[in-house]
Structure 1
Amino acid sequence: MGEFPVAGARLEADVDRQEEVAKMMLVERDMPIEMDDGIVLRADVFRPNDGRAHPTLMTYGPYGKGLAFADGYPTAWNKMAEEHPDTVSGSTNVHQCWEVVDPEKWVPHGYVIVRVDSRGAGRSPGFLDPFSARETEDFRECIEWAGRQAWSNGKVGLNGISYYGMNQWRVAALKPGPLAAICVWEGASDFYREAARHGGVLSMMLLNWYEMQVLSVQHGRGEAGPRSAATGELVCGDQTLSESELAANRADLPKFHRDNEFIDAYRERQADLSHVDVPLLSAGNWGGQGLHLRGNIEGFCRASSTQKWLEIHDGEHWVEFYTDYGVDLQRRFFDHFLKGEDNGWDEQPRVQMKVRHVDGTTEVRHEDAWPLPGTTWTDLQLDIDRMHPGAATESVVSFDVNGEGISWTTEPMEETTEITGPIACRLFVSTTSTDADIFAVLRAFDQAGNEHVFQGAIDPFSAVTKGWLRMSHRELDERLSTPYRPFHPHRRESEVIPYEIYQLDVELWPTSVVLPPGWRLSLTLRGSDWVYDSAPETRLSNFKNAMQGSGPFLHNDPSDRPSSVFSGRTSIHLGGKHKSFLRLPIVPATRTWTVSSASSPSEGPPEKE
């Protein structure tokens, strides 16, 4: 890779820029924000040096406000800078940190940037417990604090990727007074279904994430932690605690996730979207299978806000937030709601998305609603080894839980076919055991029969989309389910009797892809995570496992999937009274929409889960 300006670097070409930035931007480090229980959190404030009041953009999170993007996440930084030079141009990048805005691109535009180290992380003391109710209350108090400052115009907006988006849903539900708008960029809104457990199956991502990205910057690491490239100060505070002291000062999240299979234990970490009524821009990623995408769409659909917009892009998880495309979108949104600018945002279509083509290009489109108006919901019956719109032969197909699974493939597409929207799969399943996990993978194959994979948000070898469901979690919430998006309450276990046949409605996460004539779709069902066999050795610095099609979203914890239960054979029953099918959202080639008999009316007002 080439050489790129990294945080803290004093390249000759940057000297003039740094002097210019120093004149127009005041930087205040470790500003104290006292919480209601006496804990003092620390924030960095970047603001215009003009003596005027401005709107605030705030983030609150556990990644260490002093840890440079390039130092903490070098592979992500270098790849982004090389492939998307606009993400690092126009800035010295000395203040650039992971998944938050670059002050040099926002302060000159008339914004105050506030970064708060969450309780127990970075330079903020306290008990570390990510996504807890205490954190959400802290966030609310920080927003109230910002709205009272002399440099504030009284309006606070929230912006940021992933963690910095996920906690926006929760704090917005508390309705802080100064909160005027939120931009949730690739941020899950349903902690249980999108982060902790997929279809009831434990995701290893959070366990590994906690160890690698959070505990490495826990407050109290002191000299054992990193230093800020911008200031030289210790990122995790000046005190160096022992490992036992650090352990005593944090929640044991791996144990919590392993010990709690059902949703009630996660209540304080779930966002109440019915209470979110602030103007919002929710930005998702088609490649976000396993985290965020579903939440960005569900947040948009189910929030009570009357002023809400959905954007969906592609590419790596962290990139589009920093590109000119992303920054322009964010600025127009915040300029309208935090500055009151008449910039045309009120005429922005409610949905903006980049429709994916198999050649790697995208097409920016605007729509009025989600799912897309006029979608033709098309049911493909599963029939022995293929899937098609007609009736299926009565039969049973089986697979070994620890094997490669089974697949159904369409006939070649007769014409260019766009699939954009949510996907559902109804299966009639039996097992030789007392429980079973279904891993559903939608895949694309070209005219020659070669599989085509996509750049996911994390994994560069991603399928079209995926879904998961544990058989004992098959119960449906009829109130929140739709024909295209089944909703499972995950409140209790439903008995699984060996060899009994049960109906399973599997939610596959939304997707967008345009398939040329001659291409085929394939649905694969397995008893374990899908692996793209042709993936070369590919790793990122902030993830434990290699990228092989499922990214860091693996489901292989032996305590959650003991071999004594998750073994044997799983059977899919087809045809007759067991109509197993895949429901696809086909977007007609013309804009004269045709609605099939499977179409359903739009969902009603959001309801509290």
Structure 2
Amino acid sequence: MQQQFPNLKWKKLPSPEEHSNYTWHGFEPNSKLFLERGHTRWAGRLPFPVDTILERDVAVPIRDGIRIYADVFRPANTDANDKVPAVIAFSPYGKTGTGVPNYDIMGPHHIGLKLEDTSGYEKFEGPDPATWAEYGYAIINVDARGAGKSEGNVVFYGPQEAEDVYDTIDYISKQPWCSGSVGMAGNSWLAISQINFASRHEHPALKALAPWEGRHDVYRDTLGRGGRRHNPYLHRFLLSGFTDLKKFYDRFLKGIQNGWEEDTPPVRLSLLGFEADGNLTKSIEEQPEREWPLARQQLKTLYLNSASKELVWDKQATEGSITHFAEGLTDSSNFIVHFKQPTEIAGYAKVKLWISCKEHDDLDVAVQLRKISADGRLLEHLNYPCPLPVSEVRNDNIAKCLGPQGFLRASHRVTKDDKLSTAQEVVYKHDKREPIPLGEVVNLEITLWPMGMVFASGESIMLRVAGYDMCYPDTDRVKPAHDNNENVGHHTIHTGGKYDSQLILPFI
């Protein structure tokens, strides 16, 4: 890594003992604990339903000579005739018990998890060993290179991490208690490490991946959405510190013919109703689907009307415009359409804007879709169950969904990739920029992240156009940034006549 990027500044990582944010449980290489059935780590936590062996700080040899360490939880009845598959949770987030403090830090109300739902031994964003030991699986919680007492320096994805994952799979698959079948599971970094590995290597022992939520393109998905810096304060904060799954693993790690292929749809679609209370079961419609995007979607065009501030089915004949202050964190241009009958929308929405700025040669443009109740209220959706109505839950992005967004830095409009782009999903290379002459009206195409929404009669959808990220901050410790864009002055949206500013929605 240092050879690839010789101009970067490198500094020694602090040890886990001296790092203020690291959950540290000591270092006990190859110690073995017997966790009896019914064992609880703390009062009120999930008990182990079967006898389980915990091997602490098991050294995993890596090809360049370093050792990384893992905690291994496995059912105690495993012997030469009763081997089990292994599920690896790979990240630098600590090996055991790191879910306990982090869930409270990352979101209000313990991100929807009751204390009795987890054992307290789980790795942050990984599977709980108490649950999976009962199912007949070993859980391998790995400290990635440079984390905890694992040797070497932490690497942020890339080829080095992929090789480390390969070597870990190889070592674990050959242990005497392992059946030779290995899977991976987890969220966020734990998901991305799976995608990173699978995009570069394969291993005969690896039979199943379960990246619950992650990303595959760091630039487009996170660091520079639409070519603009996206939430840099969150990155500084990070750098400073469900039965379907069982059926999936049973099929591909244990070889059980349980009908997974026949019974499991390739796509599950969630349509959000944005109910204004904490009852998620009322506000989500789950639908099995066969493909994505949906073959039955109907792409319909709504035009922006600057005079009425509406989304209309027919473009206005005369030209008009609407202007908002692009530098702040509150101003936006808003356009609304009311639905007279129940409506479902799912897929990629796309916005086409004719826009100009007299004060600066670039524009950072954000677009967002919001749902409006029949009585005119902007609605929010809880991302996980909370004991309070949505209006009383802290305004964190991790807890509340406001609606899908899309972003584009206008100077990157010239990098559109025609080979990867479709009628709905516009892809940009972001490999060059072309400044915008002051006051010149330019055409921008912006695809929003995929969505699923359901509307009752009388409810509405609002298109917001602004110069800033319109979601809530990612945690209460990360605040919105005023310096997070290229904007100066005001942005003017042009509509009607030759300016066909529009929103294309996927109706199903």
Please confirm whether the aligned pair reaches a TM-score higher than 0.5, indicating the same fold: yes
Per the alignment, residue 84 of structure 2 pairs with: 54
AA aligned to 1:402 is E
Distance 1:8 1:472 in 2: 57
Q: 1:511 aligns with which of 445, 451, 454?
A: 451
Per the alignment, residue 236 of structure 1 pairs with: none
Per the alignment, residue 419 of structure 1 pairs with: 345
Distance 1:514 1:346 in 2: 29
Per the alignment, residue 41 of structure 1 pairs with: 68
Q: 2:491 aligns with which of 570, 585, 591?
A: 570
Per the alignment, residue 507 of structure 2 pairs with: 586
Return the TM-score normalized by structure 1: 0.68
Per the alignment, residue 349 of structure 1 pairs with: 265
AA aligned to 2:455 is L
Q: Deviations over 1:262-321 (max 9, x none)?
A: xxxxxxxxxxxxxxxxxxxxxxxxxxxxxxxxxxxxxxxxxxxxxxxxxxxxxxxxxxxx
Return the TM-score normalized by structure 2: 0.81
1:465 paired to 2:427: no
Q: 1:106 aligns with which of 120, 128, 132?
A: 132
Retained in 2: the 8 A contact 1:446–1:452? yes
- Which stretch has the larger CA shift, 365-374 or 401-410? 401-410
- Between structures 1 and 2, the one with greater helix share: 1
Per the alignment, residue 597 of structure 1 pairs with: none
Q: 1:65 aligns with which of 90, 95, 103?
A: 95
For 1:236-247, list aligned pairs within 5 A: none
Deviation at 1:75, TM superposition (A): 5.2
For 1:205-604, list aligned pairs within 5 A: 207-211=233-237, 213=238, 215-216=240-241, 326=242, 328-347=243-262, 348-359=264-275, 360=280, 361=282, 362-384=284-306, 385-392=309-316, 393-403=318-328, 404-410=331-337, 412-432=338-358, 433-456=360-383, 458-474=397-413, 475-530=415-470, 540=475, 544-545=477-478, 554=480, 556=482, 558=483, 561=485, 566-587=487-508
SS in 2 for 1:199: helix
SS in 2 for 1:158: strand
Q: 2:56 aligns with which of 13, 18, 29?
A: 29
Retained in 2: the 8 A contact 1:63–1:214? no
Deviation at 1:376, TM superposition (A): 1.1
Per the alignment, residue 145 of structure 1 pairs with: 171
Deviation at 1:9, TM superposition (A): 4.4
Deviation at 1:84, TM superposition (A): 5.2
Deviation at 1:511, TM superposition (A): 1.2
1:181 paired to 2:114: no
Distance 2:477 2:107 in 1: 18
AA aligned to 1:188 is R
AA aligned to 2:349 is I
Retained in 1: the 8 A contact 2:269–2:452? no
Deviation at 1:152, TM superposition (A): 2.0
SS in 2 for 1:136: helix
Distance 1:356 1:467 in 2: 18
Deviation at 1:462, TM superposition (A): 3.0
1:168 paired to 2:168: no
Deviation at 1:459, TM superposition (A): 4.0
Deviation at 1:88, TM superposition (A): 3.6
Per the alignment, residue 219 of structure 1 pairs with: none
Distance 2:368 2:149 in 1: 42
Gap runs ≥5 in structure 1: 1-6, 217-325, 533-537, 547-553, 588-609
SS in 1 for 2:348: strand
SS in 1 for 2:165: helix
- Which stretch has the larger CA shift, 331-340 or 447-456? 447-456
1:122 paired to 2:148: yes
Distance 2:481 2:247 in 1: 40
Distance 1:77 1:463 in 2: 16
* Aligned-residue RMSD, C-alpha: 2.5
Deviation at 1:555, TM superposition (A): 5.5
AA aligned to 1:580 is S
Q: Deviations over 1:326-352 (max 9, x none)?
A: 2x1111111111111111111111112
AA aligned to 1:352 is R
For 1:72-83, list aligned pairs within 5 A: 72-74=102-104, 79-80=109-110
Deviation at 1:148, TM superposition (A): 2.1
Distance 2:374 2:61 in 1: 62
Distance 2:239 2:441 in 1: 43
Retained in 1: the 8 A contact 2:398–2:474? no
Deviation at 1:395, TM superposition (A): 1.9
Retained in 1: the 8 A contact 2:96–2:141? no
Distance 1:124 1:214 in 2: 18
Deviation at 1:121, TM superposition (A): 1.1
Q: Deviations over 1:17-59 (max 9, x none)?
A: 45x64xx211111111121211110011111222122211111
Distance 1:566 1:539 in 2: 22
Identity fraction in percent: 28
Per the alignment, residue 231 of structure 2 pairs with: 204
Retained in 2: the 8 A contact 1:70–1:78? no
